[in-house]
Amino acid sequence: MGKRFDFEYIVIGGGVAGIAAAMKLAKAKRKVALIEQNKWGGTSINSRDVPQKALFNFSHLYASAISGSKFGISSTNLRYNYPSVTHWRDSAIAKSTPKKKDLEEAGIVCLKGKAHFVGPNDVAVGDGQISANKFIIATGAEMAENGISGLDSVPHLTPETALTIERPPKAVLIVGGGASGCEIAEYYAELGAKVVIVEMRSKLLPREDAEVSELIEQYFDKKLGIKVFTKTKVLALEKDKHSSKVVFSRNGSERAVRVETIVLATGSKPATDLGLPNAKVSFDKTGVAVDRTLQTSARNIFAIGDVIGGNSSTERAIYTAEIATMNMLERNKTYINFDGFMRVTDTNPQIVSVGMTEKEIAKKTKKYKKVLVPLSAVQASITSNFRIGFLKLIADNQGKLISATAVCPNAEEVLQEAALLIRHKLPLTQIASTPHPTGSWTELLKIGAKQLLSK
């Protein structure tokens, strides 16, 4: 390290990716600073993974109890105490949030403030300025507004704030039918709210296969009473003395509807507002440009997590942190490999996909085979009285699995073996020949593998 630098490494962003990188560097006895503008732990711990898991587990349990008459449960007088629910949420966040004291005891210098590059080796933080030989950018993502006017003047929620309110709304309109929009919609509906989803594209969950979108839309309509309007573009939010109003375009005409609560779930974009041109770091609307080692156009700067774009997940962010720090510390370079990472939508049934979509596969080759296994194929659907969903597997002609989608309870666990096969390019026979517990949802995968191999 040159004498003129304050640190060997500076990590910008104190979310899960940034903390993982800083901890690895500190363990390697490097002098490292970690800069965070908001809360330690970032969106994953404070407003996404932890609070969502805590509250969605509650709402799914509550909804199951209400519909549990077939199991002998009487829910006539069933109620919930929302202050107790929010206390559970806050407790889960507090237990999961990394403590600044622990980071400092590990040898990390923790700094609060917004970082802004003023040169290739210098960043301004608050009223000061610090320098380093190398940097890791881990600033994550922020909400994409998608050209909707009135956001500054009309109160609205986002997927990050929708779970922080002190009482659930009675009626809500959600703008955006992606994973976050669907998750929030189901949460509110399970608690008794009237919910409307507006999606500009032709289907819900537009990143997933058509079977998934069709099933979840039917489930929302028939089971939860959620109204879905696709091919509908929200133009503006407006407010008068009495209520908020959403202006939208549908079937070529402009209309408006008054609502109590608005949730803007229009997706996210990489958070790149940190003076990257001053550091000669290339980026565009899709994120910071990196090579296969996660190095940016500036040789001394790497980028990790959601700021590089692509599918967002905590495990993916931590994985990039491990690869980037490894490549910064060692001579032998390791390339990123995102094969086997899952896309998860935490509805009930849970929706999980790994590998390419069928549409993506069809663009590359016509030589593939697929199976669709209904939940009724396994005993778990009978014993749990749950039949909404399916398993979809796609393999190449050599019997290698290239795509898997599960819409069922515990879909993450069901597809764990599928992720292993896709990542390591193992044959389907590995699953077909492996015992799976009778009565479990994982039997779906074994049945699907056998059916696919017999084609």
pLDDT in tens, 328-360: 999 899 999 999 999 999 999 999 999 999 999
Residue 187 lies in a domain: yes
CB atoms within 10 A of CB 436: 18
Residue 80 lies in a domain: no
Label the pairing between strands 227-229 and 194-198.
parallel
Residue 157 lies in a domain: no
Instruction: Look at the alpha carbons of 7, 8, 11, 12 in this order and tell me if their dihedral is positive or negative.
Output: positive
Label the pairing between strands 390-396 and 368-374.
antiparallel
Give how many domains the chain has, as a whole number.
3
Residue 334 lies in a domain: no
- Looking at the predicted structure, is the pLDDT value of residue 95 above 70? yes
Mean per-residue pLDDT, 112-138: 96
Q: What is the pLDDT of residue 77?
A: 86
Note down the domain range covering 228.
171-266
Q: Are residues 259 and 279 in the same domain?
A: no
pLDDT tens readout for residues 369-389: 999 999 999 999 999 999 999
Q: What's the rounded Cα separation, in Å, for the pair 410 and 406?
A: 9
Q: What's the rounded Cα separation, in Å, for the pair 322 and 324?
A: 6
Please give the radius of gyration of the chain, using alpha carbons only, rounded to the nearest integer: 24
Q: Are residues 404 and 391 in the same domain?
A: yes
Q: Are residues 250 and 314 in the same domain?
A: no
Say if CB 223 and CB 185 are below 8 A apart. Answer: no
Q: Mean pLDDT, the chain, as a whole number?
A: 95
pLDDT band with cut points at 50, 70 and 90 for residue 455: confident
- Looking at the predicted structure, is the pLDDT value of residue 31 above 60? yes
Q: Are residues 261 and 277 in the same domain?
A: no
Mean per-residue pLDDT, 40-60: 94
Dihedral (C-alpha) 310, 270, 315, 187: value to the nearest 10 degrees? -100
pLDDT band with cut points at 50, 70 and 90 for residue 1: very low
Q: Are residues 23 and 133 in the same domain?
A: yes
Q: What's the rounded Cα separation, in Å, for the pair 13 and 134?
A: 14
Residue 112 lies in a domain: yes
Asked, as a colleague might, if the bond just before 349 is cis with ω within 30 of 0, I would say: yes
What 3-state DSSP class applies to 389? Answer: coil
* Token representation of residue 233: 């573009």
Say if CB 95 and CB 50 are below 8 A apart. Answer: no
- Looking at the predicted structure, is the pLDDT value of residue 197 above 50? yes
Q: What is the pLDDT of residue 2?
A: 45
Q: What is the pLDDT of residue 76?
A: 83
Q: Are residues 238 and 304 in the same domain?
A: no
Q: Are residues 237 and 187 in the same domain?
A: yes
Q: Which of 234, 266, 298 is the last residue of a domain?
A: 266
Which has the closest alpha carbon to 380: 332, 438, 329?
A: 438
Residue 21 lies in a domain: yes
Q: Are residues 216 and 357 in the same domain?
A: no
Mean per-residue pLDDT, 217-233: 96
Residue 445 lies in a domain: yes
- Looking at the predicted structure, is the pLDDT value of residue 422 above 80? yes
Residue type, 225: G
pLDDT band with cut points at 50, 70 and 90 for residue 189: very high
Say if CB 51 and CB 94 are below 8 A apart. Answer: no
Q: Map tokens 């363990």 to a residue.
A: 27
Q: What's the rounded Cα separation, in Å, for the pair 184 and 180?
A: 6
Q: What percent of the chain has pLDDT over 90?
A: 89
Q: Are residues 440 and 385 in the same domain?
A: yes
Containing 360, the helix (H) or strand (E) segment is helix 358-364
Containing 401, the helix (H) or strand (E) segment is strand 401-408
Q: Are residues 130 and 277 in the same domain?
A: yes
pLDDT band with cut points at 50, 70 and 90 for residue 208: very high
Mean per-residue pLDDT, 217-244: 93
- Looking at the predicted structure, is the pLDDT value of residue 67 above 90? no
Q: Map tokens 């009778």 to a residue.
A: 438
- Looking at the predicted structure, is the pLDDT value of residue 145 above 80? no
What 3-state DSSP class applies to 354? Answer: strand
Which has the closest alpha carbon to 138: 277, 224, 18?
A: 18
CATH number (domain holding residue 424): 3.30.390.30
Q: Are residues 122 and 262 in the same domain?
A: no
Q: Which of 224, 239, 266 is the last residue of a domain?
A: 266
CATH number (domain holding residue 130): 3.50.50.60
Residue 417 lies in a domain: yes
Q: Are residues 189 and 113 in the same domain?
A: no
DSSP track, 173-187: EEE--SHHHHHHHHH
Q: What is the pLDDT of residue 3?
A: 59
Q: What's the rounded Cα separation, in Å, for the pair 197 and 180?
A: 11
3-state helix, strand and coil shares in percent for the chain, rounded to the nearest 5: 35, 30, 40
Q: Which of 249, 266, 283 is the last residue of a domain?
A: 266
